[in-house]
Amino acid sequence: MKTLRSFVLLFFYTICHNVTTGVYNQCLKDQQLSLLHLKQNLTFSSSLVSSKFVSWDSSTDCCSWVGVTCSTNGHVVGLDISSQHIWGGIDSSSSLFDLQHLQSLNLANNSFVEGSRIPSAIGKLTNLRGFKPLESPKFSMLFQNLTELTELHLDGVDVSAEETHWCQAITSLLPNLKVLSLSNTNLSGPIDQSLAKLQSLSVIQLGGFHNNISGQIPEFFSNFSNLTVLNLDRNNISAPVPGFFANFSKLTTLSLAGCGLRGTFPKQIFQVPTLQTIDLSCNTELHGSLPEFPKNGSLRSLILSQTSFSGLLHDSIGNLNMLSTLDLSKSNFTGSIPKSIGNLTKLVDLKLSSNMFNGSISSIHWENLINLVDLRLYDNQLVGSIPSSLFSLPLLPKLVLSYNNFSGQLPEIFNVSSYLVTFIDLSFNYLEGPVPVSIFNFRGLQTLNLSSNNFSAFPFNGPHQLPYLKEIHLSHNSLLVLYNGSNSSYSSFPQIANFSLDSNKLRTFPVFLRNQTYLRNLDLSENQIQGQLPNWIWKLDSLRYLDVSNNALESLEGPFINSTSPVSTLDLHSNQLKGPISFVPPNIDYLDYSDNHFSSSIPLSICNASGLIVLDLSNNSLSGEIPQCLATMGGLMILNVRKNNITGTISNLEFPENCESLKALDLSQNQIEGQFPKSLARCRSLIFLNLAENQITDTFPCLLKNISTLIVLALRSNNFYGGIGCPVVQTNATWPVLQIVDLAYNNFNGEVPGFSLTTWQAMKDNRNIGFPSTVRASRNRTGYSYNSRSRYNRRGCRDSAIRCTRSAYSRLHGTDTSPDDKKVVFTYEPAIFYEPGITITSKGSKRDLAKIITVLTLIDFSCNNFSGSIPKEMEALKSLHYLNLSSNAFTGEIPSSFGNMRQLESLDLSQNKLRGQIPEQLAKLNFLAVLNLSNNQLVGKIPAGTQISTFPRDSFTGNEGLWGPPLDNKAGLSPPPTLNGSHPNSTDEIDWDLISVEIGFVFGFAVAVGSLVFFKRWSKWYYRSMYKILVRIFPQLEERIGPHRRHVHINQRWGR
CA distances to 13, 38, 87, 991 from 68, in Å: 14, 13, 20, 100
pLDDT band at 935 (very low <50, low <70, confident <90, very high): very high
- Summarised one tens digit per residue, pLDDT across range 554-608 is 999 988 888 899 999 999 999 999 999 999 999 999 999 999 999 999 999 999 9
Strand partners, 180: 152, 204
pLDDT at 1054: 32
Confidence of residue 832 (pLDDT cuts 50, 70, 90): low
For 181, phi then psi, to 5°, come to -125, 105
User: What secondary structure letter does DSSP report for 192?
Assistant: P
Give the whole-angstrom CA distance, residue 619 versus residue 669. 9
Question: Does an H or E element contain 438, and which?
Answer: none
In this prediction, residue 774 carries a pLDDT of 40
pLDDT of residue 317: 96
SS3 call for 169: helix
Residue 416 pLDDT greater than 70, yes or no? no
pLDDT of 630 over the 50 cut: yes
Which has more pLDDT, 174 or 126? Answer: 174
Q: Which of 280-289, 463-472, 860-869, 983-992 has the lowest mean pLDDT?
A: 983-992
In three-state secondary structure terms, 610 is: coil
Q: Using omega within 30 degrees of 0 as the cis cutoff, is the peptide bond preceding 966 cis? A: yes
User: What mean pLDDT is predicted for residues 155-178?
Assistant: 81
Tell me the sheet residues that pair with 280: none
Residue 788: predicted pLDDT: 33
Q: What is the distance between the alpha carbons of residues 622 and 624, in angstroms, rounded to a whole number?
A: 7
Look at residue 90 and tell me whether its pLDDT is greater than 90: no
Task: Look at 1022 and 510; give whichever has higher pLDDT.
Answer: 510
**SS3 of residue 277 by DSSP:** strand
Cβ neighbours for 495, distance < 8 A, ≥ 6 positions apart = 470, 516, 517, 518, 519
pLDDT at 409 over 70: yes
Lowest mean pLDDT among 195-209, 225-239, 1001-1015: 1001-1015
SS (H, E, C) 706-749: HCCCCCEEECCCCCCEECCCCCCCCCCCCCCCCCEEECCCCEEE
pLDDT at 175: 87
Q: Which pLDDT does position 755 carry in this prediction?
A: 84
pLDDT above 70 for 981: no
Lowest mean pLDDT among 4-8, 555-559, 810-814, 1017-1021: 810-814
**Beta strand ranges found along 818-922 (DSSP E):** 825-827, 833-836, 838-842, 845-849, 858-860, 865-869, 882-884, 889-891, 906-908, 915-916
> Which residue type, as a one-letter code, is found at position 674?
G
Residue 811 scores a pLDDT above 60: no
Mean pLDDT, range 856-882, rounded to an integer? 93
Lowest-pLDDT choice from 144-148, 322-326, 594-598, 1031-1035:
1031-1035
Weakest-pLDDT range from 306-315, 515-524, 786-795, 984-993: 786-795
Q: Would you call 843 exposed, middle or buried from its count of C-beta atoms within 10 A (0-12, 13-18, 19+)?
A: exposed
Q: Which is it for the CA torsion 91, 92, 94, 96, positive or negative? A: positive
Mean pLDDT, residues 29-34 taken together: 90
Say which residue, 795 or 732, is predicted with more confidence: 732
pLDDT of residue 727: 77
Give, in degrees to the nearest 5, the angle at Cα 978 between 977 and 982: 80
pLDDT of residue 673: 96
- The share of the chain scoring above pLDDT 70, in percent, equals 75
Give the model's pLDDT for residue 349.
Answer: 97
Confidence of residue 1033 (pLDDT cuts 50, 70, 90): low
Which stretch of 9-13, 46-50, 360-364, 567-571 has the lowest confidence by average pLDDT? 9-13
Query: What number is the average pLDDT over the span 731-754?
Result: 87
43 pLDDT band (50/70/90 cuts)? Answer: confident
Per the DSSP assignment, residues forming a β-bridge with 105 are 12, 79
Considering only CA atoms, give the Rg of the chain: 42
**pLDDT at 791 (0 to 100):** 29
Q: How many CB atoms lie within 10 A of CB 857?
A: 23
7-21, 385-399, 1036-1050: which has the highest mean pLDDT? 385-399
Give residue-wise pLDDT tens across range 209-266. Answer: 888 999 999 999 999 989 999 999 999 999 999 999 999 999 999 999 999 999 999 9
What whole-number percentage of the chain has pLDDT above 90? Answer: 52
> According to the model, what pLDDT value does residue 743 have?
97
Q: What is the mean pLDDT of residues 880-887?
A: 94
Higher pLDDT, residue 770 or 936: 936
pTM: 0.76
Query: Per mean pLDDT, which range of 191-195, 952-956, 1043-1047 is the poorest?
Result: 1043-1047
Please report which confidence band the pLDDT of residue 836 belongs to, taking 50, 70 and 90 as the band edges. Answer: low
Q: Is the pLDDT of residue 146 over 90?
A: no
β-pairing, 833-836 vs 802-805, is antiparallel
Beta bridge mates, 521? 498, 545
The DSSP call for residue 612 is -
Q: Which pLDDT score, from 0 to 100, does residue 798 have?
A: 29
Average of pLDDT values for 829-852? 65
Residues in the chain: 1056
Residue 1024 pLDDT > 90, yes or no? Answer: no
The pLDDT assigned to 793 comes to 33
| Average pLDDT of the residues of the chain | 81
Q: What does the pLDDT read at residue 110?
A: 66
| pLDDT for position 498 | 96
pLDDT for position 819: 32
Residue 770, CA distances (Å) to 245, 737, 765 in order: 46, 9, 11
Distance CA 68, CA 674 (A): 88
Domains, in order of start, for the chain: 3-248 (3.80.10), 249-357 (3.80.10.10), 712-782+840-992 (3.80.10), 1006-1055 (no CATH)
Average pLDDT over residues 427-441: 90
Residue 1008 pLDDT class (50, 70, 90 cuts)? low
- Give residue-wise pLDDT tens across range 680-709: 999 999 999 999 999 999 999 999 988 999
Choose from 137-141, 544-548, 705-709 the range with maximum mean pLDDT: 544-548
- State which amino acid sits at residue 537: I
